[in-house]
Amino acid sequence: MACREFEMGRESEQSRTDYFIRTLTVENENETRSFTQFHYMNWPDHDVPSSFDSILDMIALMRKYQENDDVPICVHCRSVRCVLCGGADTNPPMHIL
Protein backbone atom coordinates (compact mmCIF):
# COMPACT_ATOMS: atom_id res chain seq x y z
CA MET A 1 0.00 0.00 0.00
CA ALA A 2 1.37 3.45 -0.86
CA CYS A 3 0.62 6.78 0.75
CA ARG A 4 2.41 9.54 -1.13
CA GLU A 5 6.11 8.78 -0.72
CA PHE A 6 5.62 5.99 1.88
CA GLU A 7 5.32 2.28 1.12
CA MET A 8 3.73 0.02 3.72
CA GLY A 9 3.59 -3.76 3.96
CA ARG A 10 2.52 -6.49 6.38
CA GLU A 11 5.18 -9.00 7.41
CA SER A 12 3.16 -11.19 9.77
CA GLU A 13 -0.15 -11.47 11.61
CA GLN A 14 -1.15 -13.41 14.74
CA SER A 15 -4.79 -13.86 15.69
CA ARG A 16 -5.68 -13.76 19.39
CA THR A 17 -9.11 -14.11 20.99
CA ASP A 18 -10.09 -10.43 20.76
CA TYR A 19 -7.20 -8.82 18.90
CA PHE A 20 -4.59 -9.20 16.20
CA ILE A 21 -0.84 -8.64 16.45
CA ARG A 22 0.73 -7.50 13.19
CA THR A 23 4.30 -6.74 12.19
CA LEU A 24 4.23 -3.93 9.65
CA THR A 25 6.97 -2.22 7.67
CA VAL A 26 7.10 1.33 6.38
CA GLU A 27 9.58 2.43 3.74
CA ASN A 28 10.46 6.01 2.86
CA GLU A 29 13.24 6.71 0.36
CA ASN A 30 15.97 4.22 1.39
CA GLU A 31 14.93 3.74 5.03
CA THR A 32 12.71 0.87 6.21
CA ARG A 33 11.26 0.58 9.70
CA SER A 34 9.26 -2.21 11.30
CA PHE A 35 6.67 -1.80 14.02
CA THR A 36 4.11 -3.91 15.82
CA GLN A 37 0.40 -3.15 15.68
CA PHE A 38 -2.02 -4.46 18.32
CA HIS A 39 -5.53 -4.27 16.85
CA TYR A 40 -8.33 -4.85 19.37
CA MET A 41 -11.43 -6.02 17.49
CA ASN A 42 -14.22 -6.60 20.01
CA TRP A 43 -14.90 -3.24 21.66
CA PRO A 44 -18.69 -2.76 21.44
CA ASP A 45 -20.00 0.48 19.94
CA HIS A 46 -21.27 2.92 22.57
CA ASP A 47 -20.51 0.50 25.42
CA VAL A 48 -17.68 -1.22 27.26
CA PRO A 49 -16.60 -4.87 27.07
CA SER A 50 -18.19 -7.22 29.58
CA SER A 51 -14.70 -8.39 30.58
CA PHE A 52 -11.37 -6.58 30.55
CA ASP A 53 -9.24 -9.76 30.68
CA SER A 54 -8.29 -9.68 26.99
CA ILE A 55 -7.56 -5.93 27.11
CA LEU A 56 -5.27 -6.38 30.11
CA ASP A 57 -3.65 -9.35 28.36
CA MET A 58 -3.08 -7.23 25.27
CA ILE A 59 -1.53 -4.37 27.30
CA ALA A 60 0.77 -6.78 29.16
CA LEU A 61 1.87 -8.36 25.87
CA MET A 62 2.30 -4.93 24.31
CA ARG A 63 4.69 -3.96 27.13
CA LYS A 64 6.73 -7.14 26.45
CA TYR A 65 7.14 -6.10 22.81
CA GLN A 66 8.32 -2.67 23.92
CA GLU A 67 12.13 -2.77 24.03
CA ASN A 68 12.35 -0.19 26.82
CA ASP A 69 10.36 2.70 28.28
CA ASP A 70 11.93 5.14 25.80
CA VAL A 71 10.12 3.39 22.93
CA PRO A 72 6.81 5.24 22.48
CA ILE A 73 3.44 3.53 22.42
CA CYS A 74 0.74 5.13 20.30
CA VAL A 75 -2.88 3.99 20.55
CA HIS A 76 -5.58 5.09 18.14
CA CYS A 77 -9.25 4.87 19.04
CA ARG A 78 -12.20 5.95 16.95
CA SER A 79 -13.72 7.57 20.03
CA VAL A 80 -12.23 10.84 21.26
CA ARG A 81 -12.93 9.71 24.83
CA CYS A 82 -10.32 6.95 24.74
CA VAL A 83 -6.65 7.87 25.04
CA LEU A 84 -3.68 5.59 25.73
CA CYS A 85 -0.23 7.10 25.56
CA GLY A 86 3.21 6.32 26.82
CA GLY A 87 6.86 6.80 26.21
CA ALA A 88 9.84 8.78 27.38
CA ASP A 89 7.79 11.90 28.13
CA THR A 90 5.38 10.06 30.43
CA ASN A 91 6.69 8.76 33.74
CA PRO A 92 5.17 6.35 34.55
CA PRO A 93 3.62 5.55 31.13
CA MET A 94 -0.09 6.30 31.09
CA HIS A 95 -2.86 3.85 30.34
CA ILE A 96 -6.18 5.69 30.37
CA LEU A 97 -9.39 4.06 29.21
Encode the chain (97 residues) as per-residue pLDDT tens digits.
555 666 777 788 889 888 999 988 888 888 888 888 888 888 887 788 888 899 899 989 988 888 888 877 777 766 555 544 444 444 444 444 4
In this prediction, residue 36 carries a pLDDT of: 87
The pLDDT score that the predictor gives to residue 96 is 41
What positions carry a catalytic annotation? 77
Short-list 96, 18, 92, 95, CA closest to 53: 18
Q: What is the pLDDT of residue 65?
A: 85
What pLDDT does 1 receive? 55
d(CA 26, CA 2): 9
Q: Which residues contact 7 (CB under 8 A, 6 or more apart)?
A: 1, 26, 27, 28
- Gap between the Cα atoms of 20 and 43, Å rounded: 13
Region of residue 92 (left: phi > 0; alpha: psi -120 to 50; beta: else): beta
